[in-house]
Amino acid sequence: QNKTQSHSRGEYNVYSTFQSHEPEFDYLKSLEIEEKINKIRWLPQKNAAQFLLSTNDKTIKLWKISERDKRPEGYNLKEEDGRYRDPTTVTTLRVPVFRPMDLMVEASPRRIFANAHTYHINSISINSDYETYLSADDLRINLWHLEITDRSFNIVDIKPANMEELTEVITAAEFHPNSCSTFVYSSSKGTIRLCDMRASALCDRHSKLFEEPEDPSNRSFFSEIISSISDVKFSHSGRYMMTRDYLSVKIWDLNMENRPVETYQVHEYLRSKLCSLYENDCIFDKFECCWNGSDRQVEFLIVMTGSYNNFFRMFDRNTKRDITLEASRENNKPRTVLKPRKVCASGKRKKDEISVDSLDFNKKILHTAWHPKENIIAVATTNNLYIFQDKMN
């Protein structure tokens, strides 16, 4: 479901709302399967309709979203309200014509891909061949064909023979944007593995392993937990990929495995609060990250991710500048330029700065998205969706 706020020159209204998944009950385990959607991915558009994949913990669905703004009128055998006419009363014939009507948006489920995941699905990614896609849960990655719902192929399986030896899980996976046999998956230990499906049917052996050695000066009890990668996104060229862990965003060059080329601190001031954040579970929050969109073949220059207190952050890779903005109704009227925010980590708080202790950790921005072509962004807070636009437009 979507609710929109108009916060920019354009006005936005809800386009369509539909129920994608329903809660289910797993009788075998006596546990409920939530209807909560974990990921949505759009398919590339081929005709007038839009297609998207949405997934909850267990089931992936392909939805077709189509518009209807005309309807035929003037049937010979049917009244306008649909009732059938008695053929004996028909005296003249006419040709039905299309007349405009109020826009109606219809969403219909086209495929249901079920029963392939024992663990909770955390990622789906559509391949550049536009025919297959992958779905990843905590321990396995499966490859599907969009047309075939009763079969999927397991391409990664990291489940140990003895579950008690389990120390690492898969946290995200994505296909390479250009190479249809290449994909990456990230882990709870902060590693990214790049795999080539041509190498073997089961890609348990990676082609590349991306991992940054731990900084000994920052070592703590929580080092492993905060290194867990919550999101991985390729740049459009496929030369770089971006990962999000609890405190930072890292840009990796696919040609260099031993460390990222850039690291951006999202909220370093939380490093001294990790114990509290562990206790209240915030340390397990999964933030996403995104590249800016561009219709030019230019390497992507701005990355964006969310934080707490309804803050979100943008990093400019060229200038190395960063900015913190807030998505809230109280502080921003529509059509005003967003004011940069600053968090005061310690010491004397300047005017307009917000101290770390007054941050609201219930107001978290986990999902942000950038329009693929224009400088329009969508930012999701707990109960609202904000759409912001570049003031230059």
Partner 1 sequence: MLGKGGKRKFDEHEDGLEGKVVSPTDGPSKVSYTLQRQTIFNISLMKLYNHRPLTEPSLQKTVLINNMLRRIQEELKQEGSLRPMFVAASQPADPLSDNFREAQPAFSHLASAPLLPADLVSTMPLESCLTPASLLEDDTFCTSPAVQHDDGAAKPPPPALQAVKDSFSSALDEIEELCPAPTSAEAVAAEPAAGDPKAQPGEPDVHNKPEGLPEGRTAEPKLMDPLPGNFEITASTGFLTDLTLDDILFADIDTSMYDFDPCTSAAGAASKMAPVSADELLKTLAPYSSQPVTPNQPFKMDLTELDHIMEVLVGS
User: Which residues of this chain interact with partner 1, rule CB under 8 A?
Assistant: 28-34, 57, 118-120, 138-139, 161-169, 171, 188, 217-221, 224-225, 228, 272-281, 284, 357-359, 361-362
Shortest Å, Cβ 383 to partner 1? 18
* Beta carbon nearer to partner 1, 52 or 356: 356
Cα distance between residue 105 and residue 190, in whole Å: 42
Shortest Å, Cβ 53 to partner 1? 22
CB-CB contact of 328 with 340 (8 Å): no
Cα distance between residue 211 and residue 193, in whole Å: 9
* Beta carbon nearer to partner 1, 224 or 322: 224
Structural element, H or E, at residue 226: helix 223-227
* Beta carbon nearer to partner 1, 102 or 164: 164
Cα distance between residue 157 and residue 324, in whole Å: 39
356: DSSP letter: G
Shortest Å, Cβ 385 to partner 1? 24
Shortest Å, Cβ 322 to partner 1? 23
Classify 336 in phi/psi space as left (phi over 0), alpha (psi -120 to 50) or beta: beta
The separation between CA 176 and the C-alpha centre of its own chain, rounded to angstroms, equals 16
Query: Alpha-carbon Rg of the chain, whole angstroms?
Result: 24
* Beta carbon nearer to partner 1, 164 or 330: 164
* Beta carbon nearer to partner 1, 96 or 160: 160
SS3 225: helix
Structural element, H or E, at residue 388: strand 385-389
Shortest Å, Cβ 90 to partner 1? 59
Shortest Å, Cβ 259 to partner 1? 21
Cα distance between residue 230 and residue 236, in whole Å: 20
* Beta carbon nearer to partner 1, 33 or 344: 33
State both tokens at 372: 């693929």
Shortest Å, Cβ 106 to partner 1? 31
Shortest Å, Cβ 342 to partner 1? 19
* Beta carbon nearer to partner 1, 35 or 322: 35
* Beta carbon nearer to partner 1, 102 or 357: 357
Cα distance between residue 41 and residue 299, in whole Å: 22
Shortest Å, Cβ 227 to partner 1? 10
| Other residues' Cβ atoms within 10 Å of the Cβ of residue 373 | 10
Cα distance between residue 335 and residue 129, in whole Å: 41
| Other residues' Cβ atoms within 10 Å of the Cβ of residue 230 | 21
Query: In degrees rounded to 5, what are phi and psi of residue 164?
Result: -70, -15
Identify which of 84, 76, 52 has the alpha carbon closest to the alpha carbon of residue 65: 52
Cα distance between residue 222 and residue 281, in whole Å: 12
* Beta carbon nearer to partner 1, 33 or 105: 33
